[in-house]
Amino acid sequence: MNGKERTAPILFFILSIAGTLVVLIEIAMNLCRTSLCTSEGCKTVAKYTRYGDISLLIPGALVFLLLAILSRPGSLRWGRYTDKLITTTLCAAIASEGFLVGYQAFRVYAPCWFCLSVFVLFVLLGVIWLASGRWETITGFAGFAVVFACFYLILPMVTSTESLGDHIEESQLTLFYNSTCETCEEIEHLCKSCDIIVNKVNADEHFDLLEEMHVYEIPVLFVNDGDEKRVLIGKTKIKEFLLRNGGRYTIPS
């Protein structure tokens, strides 16, 4: 057995253990209502997970743990059936990542850094497995590509029977927000503290409207003030506008 064949199982085992530990730490933090990842993408993915983050974290931890057990040191040569089980598990894991990565890329337009870190670990494991001569692993990468591409091609859009004009024609200020967006909460708090009248609209329910305008960031403020029509994107621009012009949109005394 050459050097590469001896090194591959050791690297595979180390990465599997690392993946197990990372996911277990995230599970523990999740139970304490916190997370290793604080990105908006992470919060959005968690919001739409049927049973919460834990429903994805537990299977992830079990997959890494299974790979670690199967690749544990003790023999420089893996058995035939062990090889097949590792390959099958790894291919399934890599292919399933196509959905999570595709969801972040084509639906929420915000990365979950923890999810992407797990994806990178699976890719590294797949590369090591390929380099050690297990060419069947290529099917896992092919599965990832197919799922990722299908997510892009047949993604069901969030539709609405209302047009953008229905939301803004009767309001001078319309704020598109998300319940998991901390910066949106800051803008809402500013409006309340300054008695600024603003019409709030959930961006998730009208994602297609924003996407048609190539707006992929929230909060978004639509200004409909007579002849002035403006679209302000992001906390900084919105906050500057409200602090400078908020007096024009306050609740009448």
**Span 164-249 CATH architecture:** 3-Layer(aba) Sandwich (3.40)
Nearby residues of 66 by Cβ (< 8 Å), 6 or more positions away? 89
Q: Which residue has the higher pLDDT, 89 or 183?
A: 89
Q: Which long-range contacts (CB under 8 A, 24 or more apart) does 33-41 make?
A: 35/114, 36/114, 37/112, 37/113, 37/114, 37/115, 39/110, 39/111, 39/112, 39/113, 40/110, 40/180, 40/181, 40/182, 41/104, 41/108, 41/110, 41/111, 41/112, 41/113, 41/115
**Comparison of pLDDT for 119 and 174, the residue scoring more:** 119
Q: Are 218 and 108 in contact (CB under 8 A)?
A: no
Token pair 């057990």 is found at 69
pLDDT, one tens digit per residue, over 223-243 is 887 767 788 888 888 888 888
CATH 1.20.1440.130 for domain 3-153: yes
Closest CA relative to residue 93, chosen from 153, 23, 154: 23
Distance from C-alpha of 56 to C-alpha of 35, rounded to nearest angstrom = 14
Fill in the amino acid letter for 191. Answer: C
68 contacts: CB under 8 Å, gap ≥ 6 = 13, 16, 17, 19, 20
Angle at which helix 80-103 crosses helix 138-153, to 10 degrees, equals 20
Residue 40 near residue 181 (C-beta atoms within 8 A):
yes
Q: What are phi and psi of 33, to 5 degrees?
A: 60, 40
pLDDT at residue 253 greater than cutoff 60: no
Confidence band (pLDDT; 50, 70, 90) for 174?
A: confident
Select from 68, 163, 57 the least CA-distant residue to 118.
Answer: 57
Bridge partner list, 176: 201, 220
Paired tokens of 20 = 């197990």
How many Å separate Cα 48 from the centre of its chain?
A: 10
Token pair, residue 62, equals: 């079990």
Backbone angles phi and psi of 139, in degrees to 5: -65, -30
Please tell me the predicted confidence (pLDDT) of residue 113: 85
Lowest mean pLDDT among 24-33, 50-59, 193-202, 211-220: 211-220
What letters, b where the CB count within 10 A reaches 16 and e where it falls short, cover 208-240? ebbeeeebeebbbbbbbeeeeeeebbebeebbe
Domain boundaries, the chain: 3-153, 164-249
